[in-house]
Structure 1
Amino acid sequence: MKFFVPAAKDDIKAEQVYSALAQSLKAPITEKRIWKLQWCDREIDMECEVGKPLPSFYQTGKELVLAIFECENFYKICTLSRGGIKGEPILTGKNSQSSATYFSDNINN
C-alpha cells in the first residue's frame, strides 16, 4: 500500500498534513510509516487502518484514521476528533501484543 493521508488530494498535501499532525502531537516523523496496527486493549483484540474507521469500542463513529505514529514505547492513533483538529490521540502500548504493518513505500521513494 502506497502512503496516503485520507482526503489529501496529492502526495505533497499528504506530506504536509502528516507533518502538521506529527508536529501537533509531538510525534516523530520516520521513514517507515504505519498503515495498519493490531493491538490488545483490555483483553480485546483491536485493529485499525489508515483510511478506515476505528473499532466501535472507541466511539469515534465513522471518523477515519488519519495517521498512526510510532513513538518510543507506544503508538498514537489519530482521527479528526482524536488528535486531528481537537482532542488527544488514542494511545496504545508498544509491546508483544501489538503489531504494525507499514506502507510499502517510504519518504525517500
Structure 2
Amino acid sequence: MKFFVPAARDDVKAEQVYNAIAQSVKAPITEKRIWKLQWRDNETDMEYEVGKPLPPSYQTGKELVLAIFECENLYKICTLSRGGVKGEPILVGKNSQSSATYFSDNVNN
C-alpha cells in the first residue's frame, strides 16, 4: 500500500497533513509510516488501519484513521477528533502482542 492520508489531494498535501498531526501529538516524523496496527486488548484482537473508521466502541461515528505514529513505548492513533484536529490520540502500548504493518513505499521497509 502506497502512503496516503485520507482526504489529502496529493502526495505533497499528505506529507503536510501527516507532519502537522505528528507535531500536534508530539510524535516523531520518520520515513517509516504505519499503515495498519494490530494488537490484543483484553482477549480481543484489535486492528486499526489508515483510511478505515475506528470501531464503534470509540463513539466517533465513521471517523477515519488519519495516521498511526510509532513512538518510543507506544503507538498514537489519530482521527479528526482524536489527535488530528482536536482531542488526544488513542494510545496503544507497544508489546509482544502488538504488530505494525508499514506502507510499502517506506524507504526503510
What TM-score comes out, normalization by structure 2 length?
0.94
Q: Could you report, residue by residue, the CA deviation over 1:47-72 in whole angstroms, capped at 9, with x for unpaired residues?
A: 01000001122221100000000000
Q: Runs of at least 4 residues of structure 1 off by over 3 A?
A: none
Alignment of 1:1-109 (within 5 A): 1-106=1-106
Residue type at the aligned position of 2:83: G
What TM-score comes out, normalization by structure 1 length?
0.94
3-state SS in 2 of match to 1:17: helix
> RMSD of the TM alignment (CA)?
1.3
3-state SS in 1 of match to 2:65: coil
Q: Which runs of 5+ in 1 are unaligned?
A: none
Q: CA deviation at 1:25?
A: 0.5
How many residue pairs get aligned? The number is: 108
